[in-house]
Amino acid sequence: MKRIAVLTSGGDSPGMNAAVRAIAKLAASKGVQVMGVLEGYEGLMDGNLRELTKTLSDGTVSVDVEVDAAGNQGGTMIGSARSLRFREAEGRAQASLQMAKHGLEGLIVIGGNGSLTGAHIFTRESGLPVVGVPGSIDNDIGCTALALGVDTALNTIVQACDHIADTARAHRRAFVVEVMGRDCGYLAMASAIAVAADAVLIREQGKSEEQLVTDLSNVIRNGYARGKRRILTIKAEGVQVPCTRLVRLTEEAMRADMPNVEIRATVLGHVVRGGNPSYQDRAIAGRLGFAAVASLLRGSSDTMVGWLPPVSGGTPTEDSSVQLFGLEQVLVETAAVIDGTSPVTQRRLALMQKASGVLAL
Residue (9 or 205) nearer to ligand F6P, CB: 9
Q: Interface with ligand F6P includes 204 (CB under 6 A)? A: no
Residues 163, 169, 182, 226: which binds ligand F6P (CB under 6 A)? 182
Which of the ranges 97-105, 164-172, 179-187, 312-320 carries the binding residues for ligand F6P, by CB under 6 A? 179-187
Q: What is the CA radius of gyration of the chain?
A: 22
Alpha-carbon gap, residue 293 to 213, rounded angstroms: 49
In the bound state with ligand F6P, the residue whose beta carbon lies nearer, of 169 and 182, is 182
> How many angstroms separate the CA atoms of 35 and 24, rounded?
9
Cβ at position 17, least distance to ligand F6P in Å: 16
CB of 71 to ligand F6P, least distance (A): 20
Window 264 to 293, contacts with ligand F6P (CB under 6 A):
273
Q: Does 138 sit near ligand F6P (CB under 6 A)?
A: yes
**Among the options 12, 64, 138, 281, which is catalytic?**
138
Site string for ligand F6P, 223-242 (x = CB under 6 A): --------------x-----
Q: How many residues bind ligand F6P (CB under 6 A)?
A: 12
Segment 5-24, which members bind ligand F6P (CB under 6 A)? Answer: 10-11
Query: Rounded to an integer, what distance in angstroms lies between the CA atom of residue 142 and that of residue 135?
Result: 12
Could you tell me if 149 and 135 are in contact, meaning their C-beta atoms sit under 8 angstroms apart? Answer: yes
Is 180 among the residues that bind ligand F6P (CB under 6 A)?
A: yes
Min dist. Cβ of residue 35 to ligand F6P (A) = 24
CA distances from 30 to 1, 26, 105, 300, 304 (A): 10, 7, 15, 16, 21
Q: Cβ contacts of residue 7 below 8 Å, gap of 6+? A: 36, 37, 40, 41, 43, 44, 78, 107, 108, 109, 110
- Beta strands at 33-37 and 3-8: parallel, antiparallel or unpaired: parallel
The window from 26-34, 131-139, 220-228, 346-354 that contacts ligand F6P (CB under 6 A) reads 131-139
Cβ–Cβ < 8 Å for 124, 21: no
Collapsing DSSP to helix, strand or coil, 80 comes out as coil
* Candidate residues 40, 75, 91, 181; the one interacting with ligand F6P per rule CB under 6 A: 181
CA atoms of 230 and 227, how far apart (whole Å):
9
Catalytic site includes residue 151? no
- Using CB under 6 A as the binding rule, whether residue 76 contacts ligand F6P is answered as no
Nearer to ligand F6P, 183 or 251 (CB): 183
Does 163 interact with ligand F6P (rule: CB under 6 A)? no
Q: Which is nearer to ligand F6P, 32 or 188 (CB)?
A: 188
The 8-class DSSP code of residue 298 comes to T
**Which one of residues 18, 137, 164, 268 is an interface residue with ligand F6P (CB under 6 A)?**
137
Half-sphere exposure of 192 (CA within 13 A, CB side): 32
For residues 327 and 13, give the distance between their C-alpha atoms in angstroms, rounded to a whole number: 20
Out of 76, 136, 152, 278, point to the residue binding ligand F6P (CB under 6 A). Answer: 136
Q: How many CB atoms lie within 10 A of CB 247?
A: 22
The residue with its CB nearest to ligand F6P is: 11
Q: How far apart are CA 173 and CA 168, in angstroms?
A: 5
Q: Could you list the active site residues?
A: 138
Interface with ligand F6P by CB under 6 A: which residues? 10-11, 82, 112, 136-138, 180-182, 237, 273
